[in-house]
Amino acid sequence: MTAPAIDRPAPASAPVSPARPGRRRLGDRLLTAYGWIVIAWLLLPIAVMVLFGFNDTRSRTNFTWEGFTLQWYGRLFEIPGLSAGFVNSLVIAVLTAVIATALGMMIGLALGRYRFRGQGLTNLIMFAAISCPEIIMGTSLLSMFLMTGIPLGRVTLVIAHVMFSVSFVAVTVRARVLTLDRSLEEAAQDLGASRWETFRLVTFPSILPAVTAGALLAFALSVDDFIISTFVNGPVETFPLWVWSASRLGIPPQVNVMGTLIFAVGAALAVVNAVGARRRG
Amino acid sequence: MADALRAGGTPAIELTGVVKEYSGHGEVVRAVRGVDLAIEEGEFFSLLGPSGCGKTTTMRMIAGFEEPTRGVVRLHGQDVTDVPPAKRDVNMVFQSYALFPHMSVYENVAFGLRRRGVDRDELDRRVREMLEIVDLAGREKRRPRELSGGQQQRVALARALVNRPRALLLDEPLGALDLKLRQAMQIELKRIQREVGITFVYVTHDQGEALTMSDRIAVMNDGLVEQLAPPREVYERPATRFVAGFIGTSNLFSGVVDRIADGLAVLRPGPGDRVLVPVEGKPAEGDTIDLTVRPEKIVITAEEPGGDVSKVRGTVAEVVYLGTSYSYAVTLGNGAEVTVFQQNAHSSDSSAERGDPVWLSWQPRHSYAMGS
Ligand SMILES: Nc1ncnc2c1ncn2[C@@H]1O[C@H](COP(=O)(O)OP(=O)(O)OP(=O)(O)O)[C@@H](O)[C@H]1O
Ligand SMILES: [Mg+2]
């Protein structure tokens, strides 16, 4: 991770206010330092996580550096409970991302595109769902599942995860839809496209960056959700839940490796989306 | 007018008693308040009027994006009031161009043909031919945002024209271009229209554009057509005060008819003044009539002019040098202000100075009495 734009010192030959070059240089340095602090703040915890995945630790705890090793990558699936949790988390996150993206995209389109009765209310609910404390959402989801008699497990986890991530997708898509030129769709229809063709060929490609961003967001929210999941998981353990229960005994380095892998995939997808968005314009 | 056209065949586009009302926030906006139009096959027809007068709404009803509240829209004699835009044989060029940003120029132009399942060879031939016509050959692979405003405009035009619509609707297509490019594109549009020979319906609020390009103009105001006539007639014989005021600069006189002789009404705005207006039948002595005179028809002289001309006395209030001409503001005895344009073809000196008492005169046929 480099930050060339921030890193570069101010060119001394082109000061903006030549009368006070000293002040400008100082301001520039402060800005550069600030930039690095923010980057460090954001990345340091992740760097520590990645680093301790390579720690040649022998004890149960993985808090002190004892030398470099790749063995944990080879022994990734040695702990059955952790492996099961990891797979559960991935399956649930993928399902959540697919369902929440499909639903959220439609909600976002409706909110951004049309005027309808109950629109204000729908908007309100979207933002309420985003701002609602997870602990409250978790307890109310649990009582709802108990009341309706749906057995707790993977299904309730997916339902709960879709429930809190759909708003994020909807809001992301809605923001994009609002910037779209309405006449694009009219132009498509004018040129003989049916409603479905208009959506497939014009609307969807135009909102694709937002849809992808929404899907990534839903995946990320689901994969590391802890609070709501503790209420509705039943017998099923996800990756974060397993880590939490294991933490009293000591977290094995495999957890760091899995965290690193999840982060790497997420970061790669985000980069692909950003590059794609830039290319599409 | 409509009858005369119908004699020449079915009009390409016909609106009968079309009304469009929008309701929202508890009030009803009457965007179009009853429009009758018959647009002839192959005609360059302009809808001209100030902002908010209902031009876009009228055009969108022709394209099918809005359904009239009342009235009928016919394309080539067929009632299409309930037909969706995709099934209408007209195409539209949007003010924002509405080019598909994720598609190349080629794919943009090919869009309509692909929807209609035109086979690959013909599609390729027609797209390339059309890009040739709009002078964009060699730019097929570009994305719209990699083109200049004028080029994007031409892609939008090509994308519509390649479908060989029976009419092309253009909503202020040159509005986003700078003056020079706009003038070049006006000529270009006329050339293309001649080349493809289809009906163009052109929305603009620029009267110069409408006057230079159109075969006929419908001047709209507040949801109604005030006048529907060829440019020359709209300019020289404005049907209403609104048209006179909207098109070019116009001098409006209002006066009481003193007497009528040989189809000419005589008005006497001030002592020694005399304004002659051709009238047909209606006004009698003592009636008040409104009339217009274009500034370039008026001659400015120091001495009282002779002959059967309209003549009024005034004082020069302002002289503005405009390069090829002078513009004078002359205040009349009754306080009214008259604008006069005078070409400086013979001498580049002004023929009157500020404060000079002058006579203004013009031929009787250049006075034009208007309806209300
Ligand atoms: N969807 C709509 N809902 C409500 N009112 C509308 C709608 N569309 C247009 N109007 C109103 O109808 C009137 C005519 O609008 P229109 O867009 O046809 O004007 P225009 O002549 O094209 O003006 P401009 O030159 O500014 O484009 C305006 O008063 C406008 O506010
Ligand atoms: Mg308009």
> How many domains is chain A partitioned into structurally?
1
**Chain A residue at shortest CA distance from B101:** A281
Is B4 inside any structural domain?
A: no
| A202 part of contact set with chain B, CB < 8 Å | yes
Judge whether residue A171 has pLDDT over 70. Answer: yes
DSSP code of residue A44: H
- Same domain, yes or no: B118 and B208: yes
Confidence of residue B48 (pLDDT cuts 50, 70, 90): very high
Judge whether residue A6 has pLDDT over 50. Answer: no
Which ligand 1 atom minimizes the distance to the CA of B223? 14
Q: What is the pLDDT of residue A20?
A: 57
Q: What is the pLDDT of residue A280?
A: 64
Q: What is the pLDDT of residue A202?
A: 95
- Is the Cβ pair A191, B91 closer than 8 Å? yes
- Same domain, yes or no: B280 and B343: yes
Confidence of residue A248 (pLDDT cuts 50, 70, 90): confident
Q: What is the pLDDT of residue A63?
A: 82
CB nearest A189 (choices: B85, B145, B159): B85
Yes or no: say if B244 and B235 are a contact pair by the CB < 8 Å rule: no
Q: What is the pLDDT of residue B347?
A: 64
Judge whether residue B22 has pLDDT over 90. Answer: yes
Q: What is the pLDDT of residue A14?
A: 46
CB nearest A187 (choices: B94, B143, B145): B94
Which ligand 1 atom minimizes the distance to the CA of B22? 4
- Is the Cβ pair B85, A190 closer than 8 Å? yes
One-letter amino acid for residue A235 of the chain: P
pLDDT, tens only, B213-253? 999 999 999 999 999 999 999 988 888 889 988 888 888 88
Q: Is A23 exposed, middle or buried (0-12, 13-18, 19+ CB in 10 A)?
A: exposed
Q: What is the pLDDT of residue B290?
A: 85
Is A164 inside any structural domain?
A: yes
Is A49 inside any structural domain?
A: no
Q: Of B245, B274, B297, which closes a domain?
A: B245
Q: Which residues of B lie closer than 8 Å to A, measured between beta carbons?
A: 63, 65, 84-86, 91-92, 94-96, 98-102, 111-112, 115-116, 143, 145, 159-160, 163
Confidence of residue B288 (pLDDT cuts 50, 70, 90): confident
Sorted by sequence, the CB contacts under 8 Å of residue B361 that are 6+ apart come out as B298, B299, B301, B305, B309, B310, B311, B312
State which residues form the domain around A179. Answer: 88-250
> How many domains is chain B partitioned into structurally?
2
Q: Which of B25, B60, B115 to mutate to test the interface with A (most CBs of A within 10 A)?
A: B115
Confidence of residue B323 (pLDDT cuts 50, 70, 90): confident
- Is the Cβ pair A206, B102 closer than 8 Å? yes
Q: What is the pLDDT of residue A113?
A: 87
pLDDT, tens only, A191-205? 999 999 999 999 999
- Is the Cβ pair B98, A206 closer than 8 Å? no
Q: What is the pLDDT of residue B91?
A: 94
Is A228 inside any structural domain?
A: yes
- Same domain, yes or no: B259 and B113: no
Ligand nearest to the CA of B32: 1
Confidence of residue A281 (pLDDT cuts 50, 70, 90): low
Is A168 inside any structural domain?
A: yes
Sorted by sequence, the CB contacts under 8 Å of residue B124 that are 6+ apart come out as none
- Same domain, yes or no: B329 and B201: no
Confidence of residue B8 (pLDDT cuts 50, 70, 90): low
Q: Of B245, B277, B302, which closes a domain?
A: B245
Question: Distance (Å) from the C-alpha of residue A188 to the closest C-alpha of chain B?
Answer: 8
- Is the Cβ pair A192, B94 closer than 8 Å? no
- Same domain, yes or no: B197 and B345: no
- Same domain, yes or no: B156 and B53: yes
Is B122 inside any structural domain?
A: yes
DSSP string, B172-235: STTTTS-HHHHHHHHHHHHHHHHHH--EEEEEES-HHHHHHH-SEEEEEETTEEEEEE-HHHHH
Q: What are phi and psi of B9, to 5 degrees?
A: 125, 175
State which residues form the domain around B283. Answer: 250-369
Is B8 inside any structural domain?
A: no
Confidence of residue B343 (pLDDT cuts 50, 70, 90): confident
- Same domain, yes or no: B237 and B286: no
Question: Distance (Å) from the C-alpha of residue B94 to the closest C-alpha of chain A?
Answer: 7
- Same domain, yes or no: B233 and B260: no
- A/B interface, count of CB pairs below 8 Å: 62
Q: What is the mean pLDDT of chain B?
A: 88
Q: Which H helix or E strand runs over B48?
A: strand B44-48
Is A56 inside any structural domain?
A: no
Chain B environment of A117 (Cβ under 8 Å): none
CATH number at residue B44: 3.40.50.300
Q: What is the pLDDT of residue A4?
A: 40
Yes or no: say if B169 and B201 are a contact pair by the CB < 8 Å rule: yes
Which is higher by pLDDT, A63 or B281? A63
Confidence of residue B280 (pLDDT cuts 50, 70, 90): confident
Residue A280 C-alpha to ligand 1 middle, in angstroms? 32
Is B2 inside any structural domain?
A: no
- Same domain, yes or no: B277 and B338: yes
- Is the Cβ pair B86, A205 closer than 8 Å? no
Q: What is the pLDDT of residue A10?
A: 44
Chain B environment of A186 (Cβ under 8 Å): 65, 85, 92, 94, 98
One-letter amino acid for residue B319 of the chain: V
Q: What is the pLDDT of residue B10?
A: 87
CATH number at residue B317: 2.40.50.140
Q: What is the mean pLDDT of chain A?
A: 88
pLDDT, tens only, B179-190? 888 888 888 888
DSSP code of residue A47: H
Is A33 inside any structural domain?
A: no
Q: What is the 3-state secondary structure (H, E, C) of A108-177?
A: HHHHHHCCCCCHHHHHHHHHHHHHCCHHHHHHHHHHHHHHHCCCCCHHHHHHHHHHHHHHHHHHHHHHHH
Locate tokens 């999941």: which residue? Answer: A229
pTM above 0.80, yes or no: no
Which value, in Å, is the radius of gyration of the alpha carbons in chain A? 24
Chain A environment of B80 (Cβ under 8 Å): none
Is A10 inside any structural domain?
A: no
pLDDT, tens only, A83-135? 999 999 999 999 999 999 999 999 999 999 888 888 899 999 999 989 999 99
Q: What is the pLDDT of residue A158?
A: 96
Which is higher by pLDDT, B97 or B178? B97
Q: Which among A213-222, A246-255, B7-16, B318-327 has the top mean pLDDT?
A: A213-222
Q: Of B245, B266, B285, which closes a domain?
A: B245
Question: Distance (Å) from the C-alpha of residue A280 to the closest C-alpha of chain B?
Answer: 6
Residues with CB under 6 Å of ligand 1 are B 22, 24, 29, 31, 49, 51-57, 205
- Same domain, yes or no: B49 and B156: yes
- Same domain, yes or no: B220 and B276: no
Mean pLDDT on B50-70 = 94
CATH number at residue A155: 1.10.3720.10
Residue B172 C-alpha to ligand 2 middle, in angstroms? 7
Mutate to test the pocket of ligand 1, among B20, B29, B203 (most ligand atoms within 8 A of CB): B29
State ipTM. Answer: 0.77
Is A176 inside any structural domain?
A: yes
- Same domain, yes or no: B241 and B256: no
